Chain A
Amino acid sequence: MKKELFELLLRVADDHLVLGHRVSEWCGHAPTLEEDLALPNIALDLIGQARSLYTYAGEIEGKGRDEDALAYMRREREYHNLLLVERPNGDFAQTVLRQLYFSVFMHGWWREAAKSTDETLAAIAAKAVKESVYHVRHAAEWTIRLGDGTEESARRMAAAVEALYPYTGELFETDAVTDALSKAGIAPDPASLKAEWERTIADVFAEAELALPGEAWQHSGGRKGVHSEDMGHLLAELQHMQRTYPGLTW
Chain B
Amino acid sequence: MNNIVILPIIIPAIAGLILVIFRKSVGFQRLVSILAILVMGFVSVILMGQIRREGIQTLQAGGWAPPFGISIVADMFSALLLLSTGTVALFCLLFAFQSVGKEREAYYFYPLFLFLITGVNGSFLTGDLFNLFVCFEVMLISSYVLISLGGTKLQLRESIKYILINVVSSSLFLLAIAYLYAMIGTLNLAHLSIRVAEAGQDSLMTTVALLFLIVFGMKAALFLFFWLPGSYSAPPTAIAAIFAALLTKVGIYAIFRMFTLVFYHEPQITHLLIGILGAITMILGAIGAVAYWDIKKILTYNVIVGVGFIIAGLASFTSTGMMGSIYYLIHDIFIKALIFLLGGTIIHLTGTSKLNEISGLIRNHPYLGWIFFIAALSLAGIPPLSGFLGKVFITRGTFETGYYWLGAIGLITSLMVLYSIMKVFMNVFWGETYLSKEMEKGKAKGPIMFPLGFLTAITISLGLGAEGIHEYVRLATEGLLNPNLYIEAVMGGNQIR
Are A and B bound to each other? no
